[in-house]
Each structure stands twice: as structure tokens, then as C-alpha cells.
């Protein structure tokens, strides 16, 4: 799961047979989860360089409108559909949007659980940098990287204490991430397996389980 502070792009969820846009989301993981639920769907990245005019700013979740898209010379064009559509398509779209919201909420819960544990998001954001610095150290020989020594100096602690503190943060962060990924995969799959009337039960289960991560 892409747990970071960078806003993800918009993804369109499209009916593969008709090229009708059924929904959009900024959650890549939720979009992929919906594709796992139904084989009739495909995913399209809403890239402003490939779309013309105001089509990039259209609300593709508006239940009052349906859009179909086609690609010409590498540029995607949308057309608002005014025709009557089958009840099956309308009901399928409603079900999809409800399920998509459950997946989006699950992604939020996972992120909130992670950052609820961390003292600061910076532990996660700078995780690779911290690991790199720790790898340069040899605590048995009292050898520490310049950056670990700088961290120690700023916080008025010894290099050894700084090393142990940062190592503890990283070990705990790794453990919590593995547990969160396990919870995410489990509940994502449960959402996709159950019937519509059981979705709320899975949501309540996920809330309970994530309290004890």
C-alpha cells in the first residue's frame, strides 16, 4: 500500500465492454480492489496531458450523468450520454460506488492506524534515510555516521542512545506496517467476497481489528 503524504492521481473505473465511466477515485488501492471484485471493469489514469479541455475537471461520480470515452490520436475525448440505460447498468453502478466507498474508508483506516502509532509521520517518510544511516554504524566499535552524530548532538544525547532510539523506531515501524498490510489484504478480500448486505459487518470487523494493531 502506498502510505505517504503525496496526493494520488485520479483513476477512472470504466465498464470494459462499453467504455462507460462508472466512477472515479483518488485511491489507487481502492480502485485496484474494485477491479478484483469484478472482471467487467478496467482502470484508466486521468492524466491531464491526455484529456482535452474541461473534461479533466468533470465529476465522474455524479449519478445523474454518464460519460463514454474514446481515444483519438492519443487524446481521450468524453461524450455525455443522454440515452436511456438499462436498469442493470444503473444498479451495477450504484453497487460499485457503495463498494468503492468501503474500500476507500479501509485505506483511510490503515493510514490513520499507522500515523496514530507514530510520534510523527516523519518516521515513515524518512524511513529509508534512517535505515541507510543505521547501516553505516557499528555500535560494537563505537562507530557512527556523521548524521547519527548530528542527530545526537541536536537532541543532546549520546550517539549510542541516538542509534538505539532510531533503531527502535524503525523496528516498531516495520512491525506495525506488516500487521497493517495483513489487515488490509484480509479485509479487502472479505469486502470482495461477501454479498452487498454483509459489507457493513466487514466494516465493523475491520474497525475492531484495527484498534488492536
pLDDT in tens, 6-43: 446 889 999 998 889 999 999 999 999 999 999 999 99
pTM exceeding 0.95: no
DSSP structure class, residue 138: B
> Are 117 and 94 contained in the same domain?
no
Rounded distance between C-alpha atoms, residue 29 and residue 189, angstroms: 12
- pLDDT < 50 positions in the chain: 1-7
For residue 139, what are the β-bridge partners? none
What is the number of domains present in the chain? 2
Q: Is 66 helix (H, G, I), strand (E, B) or coil?
A: strand
Whether residue 2 is contained in a domain is answered as no
Asked which of 48, 79, 104 is the last residue of a domain, the reply is 104
Q: What Å distances lie between residue 33 and 30, 60, 183, CA to CA?
A: 5, 19, 14
- Residue among 130, 100, 119, 86 at smallest CA distance from 31: 100
User: Tell me, what's the pLDDT at 9?
Assistant: 82
Whether residue 161 is contained in a domain is answered as yes
Q: Is 28 helix (H, G, I), strand (E, B) or coil?
A: helix
- Which grid cell is 2? 502506498
- Which grid cell is 168? 527502535
Asked which of 71, 104, 137 is the last residue of a domain, the reply is 104
Q: 3-state DSSP helix/strand/coil percent for the chain, to nearest 5?
A: 55, 15, 25
> Are 95 and 133 contained in the same domain?
no
> Are 71 and 125 contained in the same domain?
no
- Residue among 107, 113, 124 at smallest CA distance from 28: 107
Neighbours of 44 (CB within 10 A): 18
Whole domain around residue 127: which residue ranges?
113-210
User: Tell me, what's the pLDDT at 117?
Assistant: 75
Rounded distance between C-alpha atoms, residue 125 and residue 46, angstroms: 26
Whether residue 152 is contained in a domain is answered as yes
Asked which of 77, 104, 131 is the last residue of a domain, the reply is 104
User: Tell me, what's the pLDDT at 8?
Assistant: 64
Amino acid at each position: 500500500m502506498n502510505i505517504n503524504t503525496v496526493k494520488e492521481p485520479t483513476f477512472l473505473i470504466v465498464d470494459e465492454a462499453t467504455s462507460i465511466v462508472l466512477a472515479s477515485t483518488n485511491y489507487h488501492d481502492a480502485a485496484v480492489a474494485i477491479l478484483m471484485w469484478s472482471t467487467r471493469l478496467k482502470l484508466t489514469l486521468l492524466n491531464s496531458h491526455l484529456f482535452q479541455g474541461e473534461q479533466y475537471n468533470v465529476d465522474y461520480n455524479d449519478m445523474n450523468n454518464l460519460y463514454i470515452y474514446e481515444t483519438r490520436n492519443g487524446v481521450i475525448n468524453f461524450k455525455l450520454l443522454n440515452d436511456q440505460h438499462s436498469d442493470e447498468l444503473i444498479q451495477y453502478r450504484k453497487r460499485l460506488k457503495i463498494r468503492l466507498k468501503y474500500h476507500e474508508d479501509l485505506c483511510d483506516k490503515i493510514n490513520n492506524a499507522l500515523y496514530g502509532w507514530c510520534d510523527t509521520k516523519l518516521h515513515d517518510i524518512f524511513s529509508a534515510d534512517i535505515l541507510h544511516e543505521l547501516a553505516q554504524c557499528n555500535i560494537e566499535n563505537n562507530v557512527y555516521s556523521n548524521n547519527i552524530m548530528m542527530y545526537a548532538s541536536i537532541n543532546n544525547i549520546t550517539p549510542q542512545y541516538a542509534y538505539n532510539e532510531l533503531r527502535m523506531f524503525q523496528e516498531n515501524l516495520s512491525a506495525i506496517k506488516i500487521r497493517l498490510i495483513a489487515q488490509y489484504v484480509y479485509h479487502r478480500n472479505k469486502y470482495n467476497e461477501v454479498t452487498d448486505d454483509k459489507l457493513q459487518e466487514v466494516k465493523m470487523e475491520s474497525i475492531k481489528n484495527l484498534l488492536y494493531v
